[in-house]
Amino acid sequence: MDASWLHKHKYEIAAFLLFILAWGLRANVDGLPLDYPGNIKAADPMYHALAADIIVESGRYGNLAPYFAQGITNMIDPSPPLNYLTTAAISKVSGLPTWVVMYLLVTLFEAFGVLILFFLCSRIFDSKPIGLLAAGLYVLPFGLSDWWYGMYIGLWNNVGGFFFFYASLLLAYEYWQKPSRWSIFALSLTVAGAWLIHVAELFITAFAVGFVGLRLLWKVPSIKEKVTHALLLGIVPLVSVILFWPRYQELSSFLTAGSGGAESSLFGWYYSTLPTLPFYTSLGQFPWWFLLVAGLGLLQLLVNWRKYLPLLIGEAYLFCHLFVFPWFLSAYYFFVRQRMALPFIIAPLVAYGAYHLIVRNTMKYAKIPEELAVIALVMLVIGLGWGEYQGITGLKQQEHLTPAKYDALHWIQKNTPQDAELVFVTGYYQMSGSFAKRVGFVFDLPDAVPALQSFVQNNGTVNLTLPYLGSNGDTEMAHNALDEGSFFEYGRGKKRYGPMNVLSFDYAVFADFQIGDQPVIQLYNNRMIGALINEHGGTLVYNKNGIYIVQVNA
Amino acid sequence: MNLKPIIPIIALSALAAFVPAMLTGDPLAAIKFSLAFTGLFVLPLAPWVALLDKQPLEQTVIAIMLGIPAAAITFFIIGVLKGPLTLPIFVGIPALIFAVGCWRLSKRQA
């Protein structure tokens, strides 16, 4: 490796370093603790990490662990499995915990946009400096607390879906430029990847496939070659669709939940309801001057439209997909959530505009070499995003499952029978009790509020029958489809709902801290524990760090 | 067979995976992640992408982009067929893909 080699590949080296920086910055948001899952902030990632754990421990794919399925051993897991399988493989080989491996992979998925943008834009604009600018814009995108929300809060499969979407765009452009068997087969893998990690991204990824399909029809010369390319494109997604379809059916109603609510029809007028939807983002998350540069870049592209036709078609389609279709198409998961990809989608426009507005003028008037001007601009952009980044790294302190809570769950794993049933009365909301790996009914916040209100209103009188709603607890993933009969036909189980009495469980778990009024929680716990021990023969078997476990049925 | 074309791909992947994994605060954990990630997802496709007329970084990008779904889809099919997803499968399938890729690379080099 000599100086001329380094000089020749300076932009590639810079892009690689930006990628490592981007990956590290993303992984740092939630931290990577090896001894307890403190980087998990919500119910979704609790489930994702444990779904990978199940594969590691059992060596089997496809069934929910009994502790996720109210004790039923053959309930199917309907979630797309790619994230779980890749995490399980690395976890099994490396011995690292799944919550660390999965977060590293998810942050890789997010950060990989840096490299894809570099190669995509370098090729579209035939300019590595513009490619590097686009990559630099993605390291810390402006408005990152909104764009990264899915990553740091735990919509991890969603983030993986974007990885395959971006990869499909790069491969589609590769094929557009030079149709080849390898690139169309590669596209086949990324499309199947989108289907198997988060079905909702398949629709937006389909655009890239459609793009290739057109090229296939127009440019590939012989019929034989057209058929070969079509088979190469279709074979992996087709096999994946057939094998995953029965499970997809179990989730389809959830995924097609509309912008007008679960009962909405596919077509309607949803313009006014869009801003009320969860995870709603829009162009307003970017600063005005950033949008101005993007607009100027777009204008310049339009002037040169013949040269940049594929990019303009792509941007126009994606704009319609994200900003026009949702007005009248109700499948919110397929159209609105994908707005998290906006920093990637808008980066080529901004990079092109910034190159012509800033870099070229700097070169011309300040006589600065091109590479220096580009690197200075990239560093400036990253510097401007640094303040917001510092603001969200504080999330590391907001652990969903603290070491003390995890210790108690670990104690349960070691000291209770595998078929024990637990009720998590207070403290363990949003599936965090599931790390006990026992059938556990969690009285989540919405479930716990009526019981606490009743406790206060009745002047501290305890009621051992709790109004379990099954809203967000450990067993939420029990979808009732049983793995019996043929592969394409499932049996039906019966899910337990309704009020439950604490005395019907083997153990009851209480924690003196939960969002809300802590003195009331402590008083409530004391009275409940007292009643279980003094009136019903329970035994306090764990008392540490404000967490209490009562063995109810000795 | 000359394995020189795949060395930069492996090195770039291993380096890229090692740095963020150091946030665990444990260098050994970072090395384990880096080796497992590169060994399972990048190494199997390295001889295949080395056949492409591209620079090492772009070859690495393609190996990562395709190595992850290729491995996962293979594990998925085995899982659906009720095959065990144990260590020999997680290591053996990528090793097999790597071996076939090396054979193809050697044929090209011959």
Q: What is the pLDDT of residues A64-92, one digit of tens each?
A: 888 888 888 888 888 999 999 999 999 99
Mean pLDDT estimate for chain B? 95
- Give me the residue from A31, A90, A115 closest to B33, CB to CB: A90
Q: Which residues of A touch B72 (CB under 8 A)?
A: 81-82, 85-86, 193, 196
User: How far is the C-alpha of A132 from the C-alpha of A156, rounded, in Å?
Assistant: 27
Q: What is the pLDDT of residue A472?
A: 44
Share of chain A above pLDDT 70, in %: 95
Residue A545 lies in a domain: yes
Count how many residues are written for chain B: 110
pLDDT of A174 over the 60 cut: yes
What's the whole-number mean pLDDT along residues B66-92?
A: 95
By C-alpha distance, which of A109, A86, A223, A227 is closest to A158? A109
Predicted local confidence at residue A261, as pLDDT: 67
State yes or no: pLDDT of A516 exceeds 70.
Answer: no
Helix (H, G, I), strand (E, B) or coil at A316: helix
DSSP category for residue A143: T
Residue A180: Cβ within 10 Å count? 15
Residue A422, classed as helix, strand or coil, is strand
Establish whether this prediction's ipTM goes over 0.90.
yes
pLDDT score recorded for residue A470: 58
Q: Is residue A456 part of a domain?
A: yes
Find the domain containing A529 and state its range. Answer: 403-551
Residue A554's pLDDT is 63
pLDDT at residue A515 is higher than 60: no
A530: in domain = yes
Across the interface, whether the CB atoms of A24 and B23 are under 8 A apart is answered: yes
Q: Count how many domains chain A has.
A: 1
Is A207 part of any domain? no
Q: Domain coordinates of chain B in residue numbers?
A: 4-109
| Residue A504 DSSP label | G
Alpha helices, H only, A35-155 = 43-58, 82-94, 98-111, 113-124, 128-139, 144-147, 149-153
Handedness of CA B76, B79, B83, B87 (dihedral sign): positive
CB atoms B85 and A88 under 8 Å: yes
**CA atoms of B34 and B14, how far apart (whole Å):** 5
Task: Give chain A positions within 8 Å (CB) of B87.
Answer: 92-93
- Residue A513 within any structural domain of the chain: yes
A362: pLDDT strictly greater than 80: yes
Q: Do residues A531 and A455 lie in contact, with contact meaning Cβ atoms separated by under 8 Å? A: no
Q: Measured in whole angstroms, how far is the alpha carbon of residue A197 from the centre of its chain?
A: 10
Structure tokens given for A460? 């501290």
Distances (CA, A) of A113 to A167, A237, A391, B39: 8, 23, 22, 22
C-alpha dihedral (A159, A153, B17, A15), degrees to nearest 10? 60
Residues 177-206 (A) with a CB less than 8 A from some CB of B: 182, 186, 189-190, 192-193, 196
| Token pair recorded at residue B6 | 């795949």
pTM beyond 0.90: yes
Q: Which residue has the tokens 């009851």?
A: A508
Nearest chain B residue to A14, by CA: B57
Largest CA distance in chain B: 46
Q: How far apart are CA A123 and CA A11, in angstroms?
A: 13
Is there a domain that residue A395 lies in?
Answer: no
A130 assigned to some structural domain: no
Three-class DSSP category at A416: coil
**Residue B50 three-state SS:** coil
Question: How many CA atoms lie less than 13 Å away from B104 in the CB half-sphere?
Answer: 16
Which DSSP letter does residue A186 get?
H
For residues B9-36, give the mean pLDDT. 97
